[in-house]
């Protein structure tokens, strides 16, 4: 995530999280890092999971007509219960949301 932010010149502030207490992220139900808080109209949009963060930001950079909050809705969390117990999984976290516009120099066949 840091590499992505650096590459695109997106400024950020790093907050180190205590691996045991995690008091720095007690405001969030999501217990893993990284968590990116993007400043949006009226507050902040939390983005969880490295893959989801990169996917949302890359989708936004491709087409800025959609707000970050709108794009984040394409990546819902679902509850998964496996042999290790309950956990949250983010749907579509490996996908970019082009919203009908194919990137320049690409065809739909290249993407699909």
* Distance from C-alpha of 57 to C-alpha of 54, rounded to nearest angstrom: 5
Split at pLDDT 50, 70, 90, the class of 43 is very high
Split at pLDDT 50, 70, 90, the class of 109 is confident
Determine the topology of domain 2-100 in CATH. Answer: Glutaredoxin (3.40.30)
* Distance from C-alpha of 7 to C-alpha of 3, rounded to nearest angstrom: 6
What pLDDT sits at residue 112? 58
Residue 50: half-sphere exposure toward Cβ, Cα within 13 Å: 5
Q: Where are the domains of the chain?
A: 2-100
Model confidence over 53-82: pLDDT tens digits?
999 999 999 889 899 999 999 999 999 998
Model confidence over 2-12: pLDDT tens digits?
999 999 999 99
What pLDDT sits at residue 103? 65
What pLDDT sits at residue 21? 86
Model confidence over 15-39: pLDDT tens digits?
989 888 888 998 888 888 999 999 9
């Amino acid at each position: 995530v840091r590499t992505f932010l650096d590459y695109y010149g997106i400024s950020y502030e790093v907050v180190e999280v205590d691996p045991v207490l995690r008091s720095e992220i007690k405001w969030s139900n999501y217990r893993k890092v990284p968590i990116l808080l993007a400043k949006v109209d009226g507050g902040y949009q939390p983005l969880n999971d490295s893959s989801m963060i990169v996917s949302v930001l890359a989708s936004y950079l491709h087409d800025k007509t959609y707000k970050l909050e709108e794009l984040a809705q394409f990546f819902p969390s679902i509850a998964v219960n496996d042999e290790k117990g309950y956990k949250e999984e983010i749907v579509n976290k490996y996908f970019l949301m082009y919203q009908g516009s194919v990137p320049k120099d690409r065809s739909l066949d290249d993407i699909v």
